[in-house]
Each structure stands twice: as C-alpha cells, then as structure tokens.
Amino acid sequence: MELSRVRWIYAVLGAVLAEVALIAAAILWVTLYSYVIRPGLTLADYQTYAEQASPWVSVIAGLPVFFLAGRWARGRETAIALFAIYLLADLAILLSASPPTTILLIGALGYLVKALGCWLGARSRGG
C-alpha cells in the first residue's frame, strides 16, 4: 500500500460517516423494536435490548455501509485506510466501554464483514 495514494480526507471522513451510519442504524432498529415490535416495555428493558441488539445491527448493517464507504473512497488504498481508521477508533471505543469478551465473537465477525464490504466497494469502482 502506497501511503502517497491515500486520499486522507476521504479516508477520515468515510470512517466517521460509517460510524455515524452504524449508530443511526442501531438507533433506528431499537426505535422500531420499541414502537412496533414490543411496545409497552420499561425503559430498562429497551436499554438492555439495545445493548444486546446493537452489535448484531452493526454486523448486518456493516456490509452495505462499508460497501458504500469503500466505493465512495475512490481507490483501494483509501478504502484500506478508511477501514483501518474506523477499526482503530471503534476498538478504542469498545475497549473503553465494555469488557473485552463482549467483542471477541461478534466484534470479530463485524470487522470481517465491514472489511469485506469496504473491499468490495472499492473493487466495484475499479479501485
């Protein structure tokens, strides 16, 4: 990977936008769950559900979000940098907020799916 070919603005902005999109997807899913699927539960029940469901939402939404981010990155090097920036930031957030065992299986699966999406997005654009 040639660092001189990385469009750093695209990489950083893409990583931030991908994180925002995944957070929005989790909020949207929990909102749908609370108003349509299981209305009437307590706030504590919804908070517990959000903690359990959000990693899975991230895995499921990760492929399309990172496909679009990789496509938007306009090049394989920039897509790799985008994913690396996201990975470092997300790991820092996860490790500071939850026990490391929480991210072992779901986190690894999520990162694999997101890396695949980013790579496919970059390839679809010819990068």
**Structural domain boundaries in the chain:** 3-124
Spatial separation of the C-alpha atoms in residues 6 and 74, rounded to whole Å:
9
- Listed in sequence order, the residues at least 6 apart from 70 whose beta carbon sits closer than 8 Å to its beta carbon are 79, 82, 83, 117, 118, 119, 120, 121, 122, 123, 124, 125, 127
pTM across the whole model: 0.88
Spatial separation of the C-alpha atoms in residues 121 and 67, rounded to whole Å:
4
Q: What is the pLDDT of residue 34?
A: 96
Spatial separation of the C-alpha atoms in residues 86 and 21, rounded to whole Å:
12
Q: Ramachandran region of residue 126, left (φ > 0), alpha (ψ -120 to 50) or beta? A: left
pLDDT 10s digits, 62-117: 999 999 999 999 889 999 999 999 999 988 887 787 666 656 678 889 999 999 99
Q: What is the pLDDT of residue 41?
A: 95
Of the candidates 111, 124, 115, 119, the residue with the CA atom closest to the CA atom of residue 76: 119
